[in-house]
Amino acid sequence: MKNTMLQHFEKTFGDTDGVRVFFAPGRVNLIGEHTDYNGGHVFPCALTIGTYAAVRLRKDRNLRFFSVNLNKKGVIHSSLDELIHINEDDWANYPKGVLWAFAQHSFLVDQGMDIVYYGNIPNASGLSSSASIEVLTGYILMKLFDFDLDFKKLSLICQYAENKFNGVNCGIMDQFACAMGKKNHAIFLDTSNLKYEYAPIDLGDAKLVIACSNKKRGLGDSKYNERRSQCEEALARLKTVVDVQSLGDLTEEEFEVHKGVIEDEVLIKRAKHAVYENQRTIRAVAALKNHELETFGSLMNESHTSLQYDYEVTGMELDTLVETAWKQEGVIGARMTGAGFGGCTVNIVKNDAIHAFIENVGKVYEEKIGYKADFYVVEIGDGPVEL
């Protein structure tokens, strides 16, 4: 892949003298959805697919960004002196945002760069292409400018960039998972305090299969921010009767005792998902540690149902993929993953059933939705690296 990236760089910017090549993974969340901004637990893992970059420092302060995936947009020009969000800059606002966020945290970049990006994550799929490019850009800055920060701090700066520069009120999970990835492990993360542990993922005779709905969606203009504000309002009402800092502090029993104070039925459903999903995630990780894969799978299924009916972020495309998956032989668990409103599902499928799973689910999906889904059998990989 390194040679391929050098060829892309040479084609875009001329020679490759002094060019360095880096990689950062995408991520999939196995369970714990829409809990990361509610002070709950999440359970993501980094993937071996992600984003690559070939980069060379300049002698001036100019920035030139090019995406092989979005090559029709051409080279996007910017400067270290004009790091502002510009709609026309489209995808390049993600790396620009990281440069801006590094400066906000007193990591000052004093040389411009030419960067070529290439991602093998499906675009707008919910596998965190945005967090992958952010973590990749931050890792490049760490390496090129010898900035002294660890991967946890890197993930926080990248989250800050997405929140403050790109206006998406995401939690910490995506950036944390991309930065902190560990091969064949998922990360059991308590988002209320960033305490985490690595849990080995032993799927036995099964694999992770990602189904991409190919329904495009952008987080910033989806109902993602609305869901977050609904949870904040529900929490504010709960705080009048119970001493909690986040919805993640509540057990299911405590929530049921106090939910009446929320009064609004929609807000009750949103908060119920956040509370129950957090507890589901804790139980799911315990099941995995005890090699109870069937229990883990059933909790994945429950997660999707909650996201469908209580949080209402699935939609016909994701529901079709999941409900069809549930009917297939060899499927241990299936659920939507990511923010929702399009994107992907994550499935645990027995090895000897994968071919039939892809064929059958793909056929039903195309007949019902009118266009194809894409399927990826994925491996769990490490965090960012220089190639």
Known catalytic residue: 174? yes
184 to 15, 47, 281, 378, 379: CA distances (angstroms)? 38, 9, 18, 11, 8
d(CA 79, CA 74): 16
pTM of the predicted structure, to 2 decimals: 0.89
For the chain, how many structural domains are there in total?
Answer: 1
Q: Is there a domain that residue 106 lies in?
A: yes
Q: Is there a domain that residue 208 lies in?
A: no
Active-site choice (36, 114, 174, 249): 174
Q: Which tokens in the block code for residue 282?
A: 């804790």
Q: Is there a domain that residue 21 lies in?
A: yes
Q: Is there a domain that residue 162 lies in?
A: yes
Q: Residue 353: how many CB atoms within 10 A of its CB? A: 18
d(CA 378, CA 101): 31
The beta-carbon contacts of 6-12 under 8 Å, at least 24 apart in sequence, are: 6/54, 8/54, 8/68, 8/116, 8/118, 9/54, 9/56, 9/114, 9/116, 12/66, 12/75, 12/114, 12/116
Within 13 Å, how many C-alpha atoms sit on residue 91's CB side? 24
Beta bridge partners of 116: 54, 66
Structural domain harbouring 121: 2-28+46-185
Within 13 Å, how many C-alpha atoms sit on residue 79's CB side? 6
Phi and psi torsions of 203, nearest 5°? -95, 5
Per-residue pLDDT of the chain (387 residues; tens, 9 = 90+): 999 999 999 999 999 999 999 999 999 999 999 998 999 999 999 999 999 999 999 999 999 999 999 999 999 999 999 999 999 999 999 999 999 999 999 999 999 999 999 998 876 666 668 899 999 999 999 999 999 999 999 999 999 999 999 988 777 888 999 999 999 999 999 998 999 999 989 899 999 999 999 986 655 456 778 999 999 999 999 999 999 999 999 999 999 999 999 999 999 999 999 999 999 999 999 999 999 999 999 999 999 999 999 999 999 999 999 999 999 999 999 999 988 888 899 999 999 999 999 999 999 999 999 999 999 999 999 999 999
Q: Is there a domain that residue 132 lies in?
A: yes
Q: Is there a domain that residue 365 lies in?
A: no
Q: Is there a domain that residue 194 lies in?
A: no
- Return all residues near 272 (Cβ < 8 A) that are at least 6 apart: 255, 259, 306, 310
CATH of the domain at 168: 3.30.230.10
d(CA 229, CA 244): 17
End-to-end CA, the chain? 9
- Return all residues near 240 (Cβ < 8 A) that are at least 6 apart: 261
Q: Is 168 helix (H, G, I), strand (E, B) or coil?
A: coil
* Nearest C-alpha neighbor of 382 from the set 214, 180, 221: 180
204 to 26, 267, 292, 349: CA distances (angstroms)? 23, 40, 11, 10
* Nearest C-alpha neighbor of 31 from the set 310, 214, 304, 325: 304
Q: Is there a domain that residue 255 lies in?
A: no
Alpha helices in 173-218 (DSSP H): 173-180
Beta bridge partners of 44: 29
The pLDDT value given to residue 123: 63
The pLDDT value given to residue 220: 44
